[in-house]
Amino acid sequence: MKTHKAVASLLQQARSEQRCAYSRVPAEQLAMQRRAKTGELIHVYRGVPSLYAPSGYWNDLTPPERTLHIAKALGLAHPQWVFGGLAAASAYGFEHQWCLHDDSVSIMTANHGSRQQHHQLKRVYMPDAQSTAFKDPSTGLLLASPAHTVIECARAYGFRFALPIFDSAFAKGLTVEQVTTACGRMRADVLPILKLLRHVNPKSENGGESFARGTMIEEGFTPPRIQVPVRDPQTGADYRVDFVWRLDGGRVVVAEYDGTRKYVDPAMTGNRGIQEMIAKERERDAGLQRAGAAEVVHFTYEDAMERTPLTMKLLRAGIPQTVNRKGRSDEGETSHPVS
């Protein structure tokens, strides 16, 4: 296909600004549509304006990067729009599960009952959207405040998906007072928010661990202490364990979240081989047992996502379950110590 100089310029500028490309010129719109039909471009957003990105470039982006590319292009086209939800969470750097992204964006609106334009644009009612908006210097977007962002995410997603966002936001300085104040402004159902505030813990190391802890709580397990420092009495080695339960009778159970990156990412492995990493893990487990752990449970993100594998591992380790999965509720749940 012949090079369209105007479209090539639009794509180059968009890429340099880390956003999607669009045009309000009919001839340029048609040129991008033709390129989308051949697969050269991907038609990533079918609203106003239509947004495009080069196929290879788009496929190399992470889900949060894709959401921000869409939001930044829409923010350029609609400077008054205030973005919330996962676009705001991604801009703020809040940890969350990438599977939540679906190439849609949320905007906050003061017009109650305003209709959605299409499935990729969600309008969320917030009376003081403009007056409380935050201009993000890194993306140039108008964002809902961090408190409004976590509340919207709590309403849009289940507890275990919202907990990583809360943990991360609180680690970055969000407070209970800010969240409760924003709840009143958004007229949000406070029960899901209060549950998240009971269990939020800024000590969580990453979104995967927060998601796993949220799954444990949803499944009715006694919430664990997290990121607990432990010293091997034999070697003097210091460890920080992901999850710890001290059960009746003083029995201690440790659980470790094993992300796949732990074995394949050079930044985490230090370029060591998998066999060496496994040997280090066994050495660590032995040190934890010498420090008093009766059992060390290892689980993966997939175990937490599927629920049952994680549930069975914790039950076999003797972790108390106050309610079963079918009877999941808040009854009997207690907040764990922040220590």
List alpha helices for the chain, DSSP H: 5-16, 26-38, 55-59, 63-77, 85-92, 129-132, 146-156, 159-171, 176-186, 190-199, 207-218, 261-264, 266-269, 274-290, 301-306, 308-316
* Correct CATH for 207-316 of 1.10.287, 3.40.1350, 2.40.50, 1.10.600: 3.40.1350
For the chain, where do the domains classified as CATH 3.40.1350 start and end?
A: 207-316
Give the dihedral sign, CA 81/87/90/95. positive
Amino acid 125: pLDDT = 86
DSSP letter at 61 equals S
Under 8 Å between Cβ of 84 and 130: no
User: Could you tell me the mean pLDDT of each successive run of 10 residues in the chain, 339 residues long?
Assistant: 84 98 96 97 96 98 98 97 97 97 93 68 88 94 97 95 98 97 81 96 97 98 97 96 96 90 47 72 95 97 97 97 57 33
Under 8 Å between Cβ of 69 and 20: yes
Report yes or no on whether pTM surpasses 0.75.
yes
Let me know if 177 is exposed, middle or buried by CB neighbors in 10 A (0-12, 13-18, 19+): exposed
